[in-house]
Amino acid sequence: MTADPQTWDVIVIGAGPAGLFAARALSGKLSVLVLEEKARTGGAGAMTDGKLNLSPHIGLDLSELQLSEEEASERIARIDEVFLEHGADRTLYGVDAERIALWLDRVSWVRRRTHRGEWDITLLPARQRHMGTDLAHQVVARMTEAVAGNGATFSLRTKVDDIHQRGNGPFIVRTAKGQYLSRYLVAAPGREGAYWFREVARSLGVPTQYGAIDIGCRVEVALPVYDEITQVLYDPKFLFVTPTHGDRTRTFCTNPGGRVRVEIRNGSRLVNGDALKKRKTPNTNFAILNTVSMTEPIQDTTEMGRKVMEFANFWGGGDSLVVQRWGDLTEGRRSKAETFHSAALGYDKMPPTLPPGPGVTPGDISFAYPGRIVDNLRESLLLLSRVIPGVAHPSTTIYVPEIKFYDTKYRTDRHLETNVPNLFVAGDGVGKSRGIVGAALNGMLAAEGILRKEGKG
């Protein structure tokens, strides 16, 4: 290990699941410094809802990671073990083969071929755990303690401002607290730090590309509507090919008994959702996401996502989410505060967990969002209602904007090393994962790459 306290073998930027799992695998073998902007570790998801999707087909892209299904599954099993060791709930969803078969059968009876020959609705079963926003805090705190106990140093409230490299020398990492040197760098800045790091990466000579972006809405229904499936598959993954445009959408981040939440991003409001382990609401929420790629005349999906987010907030009155009852959307009228809970319209059946109020404006999603995306979201909900009819009840509530900014792509080797030797990237912020387990797997891959280079793999 290196002796100079300001010079490290490895600096990890970001203590989300990607950074934590990289630090975990490296600690005790190399000197590791984790720099985290926030006052705590866990990043975005590990400190929020903590649904662990234990499938190699969810939250990561095997071809992007150049991994076989077996290689990914083996690492996912190890990640699961780590979460369990640190106190994650042992309840496993998605293992009741008989009930899953019934759901697959139900889908097979209602799905149709699109004009391109694809199924318009598919259910992708997966094994899942749920930590819950409340329990995830404790799990992450224990994990951090263990990694620190194994020799890694965490510097919280330490935002990395800049990174330089002179020739092939060490990386020079600048923060307001001082400057650190490292031989290796693992950049795991998450979606929040994605665009900051993209600029830094470009300045270091790493080329980046625009990838697809996920733009969608959050749907809230009464718990009994969705309960039958979430008891078997906690976060059911339905994939859709929409009839009119042939676009791909999917359900994402289901929270049975959960809450719809506001996420602030660069001063704008996005919608999201979570669920507590110990306290349940009478509702369930989930996202429907539409994957959007762009070719000509512009490829900049980041800028597109930002504009969609800002326009939706503008349509909400300046800095607000837009919320609409499904009954109003299908009737072609805006939602209004006066009728939002109308018994005559059936809206009293489901009081939303994020009702209209400051920052949440009843309105019309078809004005707030691009037309093609609104078509896709409406058609997806209608496809879903073939399998779960209650989702198309008039009281169902739709919130926008929900946007996942993991749209920057980096070319790397299979250990996530970029074209700049010793610079590794990992997690959602660099387009290599879309969830806690996928991000953790990225962290492991980067650590494996570093240990191999050190002859310790």
**Those residues with Cβ within 8 angstroms of residue 26's Cβ, 6 or more apart along the chain or in another chain:** 9, 10, 12, 32, 152, 447, 450, 451
Q: Distance (Å, rounded) from C-alpha 142 to C-alpha 328?
A: 47
Minimal distance in Å, beta carbon 394 to ligand FAD?
Answer: 27
- How much is the CA Rg of the chain, to the nearest whole Å? 22
Taking CB under 6 A as the rule, does residue 220 contact ligand FAD?
Answer: no
Bond from prior residue into 352 cis (ω within 30 degrees of 0): no
> Which of 27, 29, 30, 51 is close enough to bind ligand FAD by CB under 6 A?
51
Minimal distance in Å, beta carbon 43 to ligand FAD?
Answer: 2
Taking CB under 6 A as the criterion, which residues in 154-173 touch ligand FAD? 159-160
Taking CB under 6 A as the rule, does residue 398 contact ligand FAD?
Answer: no
Taking CB under 6 A as the rule, does residue 401 contact ligand FAD?
Answer: no
Taking CB under 6 A as the rule, does residue 38 contact ligand FAD?
Answer: yes
Half-sphere exposure for 85 (CA within 13 Å, toward CB):
11
Contacting range for ligand FAD; rule: CB under 6 A; set: 292-300, 332-340, 365-373, 425-433: 425-433
Taking CB under 6 A as the rule, does residue 428 contact ligand FAD?
Answer: yes
Q: Distance (Å, rounded) from C-alpha 330 to C-alpha 19?
A: 44
Q: Distance (Å, rounded) from C-alpha 425 to C-alpha 188?
A: 6
Minimal distance in Å, beta carbon 433 to ligand FAD?
Answer: 6
Q: Distance (Å, rounded) from C-alpha 195 to C-alpha 102?
A: 44
Taking CB under 6 A as the criterion, which residues in 231-260 touch ligand FAD? 253
User: What does the per-residue mask of binding to ligand FAD show for 177-196, with x meaning CB under 6 A?
Assistant: -----------xxxxxx--x
| Beta strands 259-265; 248-256: pairing state | unpaired
> Which of 45, 258, 305, 449 is close enough to bind ligand FAD by CB under 6 A?
45
Taking CB under 6 A as the rule, does residue 14 contact ligand FAD?
Answer: yes
Contacting range for ligand FAD; rule: CB under 6 A; set: 61-69, 90-98, 115-123, 428-436: 428-436
Contacting range for ligand FAD; rule: CB under 6 A; set: 92-100, 342-350, 410-418, 424-432: 424-432
Residue 95: CB atoms within 10 A of its CB come to 13
Cβ nearer to ligand FAD, comparing 182 with 242: 182
Two tokens at 289? 């996401």
Strand positions, DSSP E, 282-341: 283-292, 321-325
**Alpha-carbon distances, residue 222 vs 20, 95, 219, 426 (angstroms):** 36, 25, 10, 37
128: enclosing H helix or E strand: strand 128-130
Taking CB under 6 A as the rule, does residue 312 contact ligand FAD?
Answer: no
Two tokens at 177? 């607290």
Cβ nearer to ligand FAD, comparing 48 with 361: 48
Bond from prior residue into 401 cis (ω within 30 degrees of 0): yes
Contacting range for ligand FAD; rule: CB under 6 A; set: 64-72, 237-245, 319-327, 430-438: 430-438
Instruction: Show the DSSP H helices in 86-188 as ranges.
Output: 97-110, 132-149
Q: Distance (Å, rounded) from C-alpha 105 to C-alpha 147?
A: 45
Contacting range for ligand FAD; rule: CB under 6 A; set: 307-315, 334-342, 374-382, 426-434: 426-434
User: What does the per-residue mask of binding to ligand FAD show for 112-151, with x meaning CB under 6 A?
Assistant: ----------------------------------------
Minimal distance in Å, beta carbon 442 to ligand FAD?
Answer: 7
Minimal distance in Å, beta carbon 54 to ligand FAD?
Answer: 10
Backbone angles phi, psi at 292, to 5 degrees: -120, 125
Minimal distance in Å, beta carbon 66 to ligand FAD?
Answer: 18
Contacting range for ligand FAD; rule: CB under 6 A; set: 37-45, 70-78, 244-252, 385-393: 37-45
**Those residues with Cβ within 8 angstroms of residue 105's Cβ, 6 or more apart along the chain or in another chain:** none
> Which of 360, 384, 436, 445 is close enough to bind ligand FAD by CB under 6 A?
436
Cα 275 to chain centroid, rounded: 15
Two tokens at 214? 């996920």
Grouping H, G, I as helix, E, B as strand and the rest as coil, residue 141 is helix
Catalog residues that contact ligand FAD under the rule CB under 6 A: 13-19, 35-38, 43-46, 48-51, 53, 59, 159-160, 188-193, 196, 253, 261, 263, 272, 274, 427-429, 433-436, 439
